[in-house]
Amino acid sequence: MNVKSTQLRSILSFLLPFAQFRIASQTRHLQTRASSVRVPRPTPFVPDVPTFFTLIGRNLSQHASKIPSWKALFILSSAQLKELGIEPPRSRRYLLRWREKFRNGQYGVGGDFQYVENGEAQVRVVEVPVSGNTPATATLSQGKRKIVVNVAAGGSALDKPAEQLVPVKGLCIKGAQTIVGPHVQPLEGGKAAKIVVKEGLWEDRRGHKIDGGERRQAEVRAKRRGEERRAAR
């Protein structure tokens, strides 16, 4: 028994320097990568890793706890994400694609909102001046146009100069004041609406495969042609 214990200690003492070297190497690699990669700031609509994973969908929210920090989300390599257990490979590719889009400011709806409370953002229709003297209509004041803007809950955009109002991307106005767009939930009164963080809000939907994936299409179609020829005899 003592001999086995001695042998085990001997093996462990032999392997320990290699394990320490690997950990140190991984740490240095992570630090070097962190210094060379730009990490974007969280936004009010996307304040943390779990929210990001929830928004992009594909059931990636089940892996959110594996990412230790917001910074790690943007500096970990595909191989490191694999070590953390983010599988299958297509999920990693999807995550990396959305990571780059976010890094470059290419958000889904709500990503650039400034007024968000508990994962919920309100939008409202406002009139802003336009160049030229456009005539008034039944639903629009003279010299104005309507845009959809993000506002604080229960608030309005009237306390801001018109030049500071930023139209919300992806939403439009139907009729006099109805806000329409993906995942928009109208509020009572019809003059405002809300967008709420939820699973798959930004998800890129998968295309429907016809005759299998690319690798199987030729096989499936050749088999079908053979069956059609046999049936025609």
Q: What is the mean pLDDT of the chain?
A: 83
pLDDT tens per residue, range 108-141: 999 999 999 999 999 998 888 887 777 777 677 7
pLDDT tens per residue, range 144-158: 888 899 999 877 766
**Mind giving me the DSSP string for 107-158?**
--TTTT-S--BTTEEEEEEEEEE-SS-PPP-SSS-TTEEEEEEEE-TT--ST
Please check the confidence at residue 35 and state whether its pLDDT lies above 80.
Answer: no
Higher local confidence (pLDDT), 16 or 62: 62
Higher local confidence (pLDDT), 8 or 45: 45
pLDDT tens per residue, range 168-184: 888 888 888 889 888 99
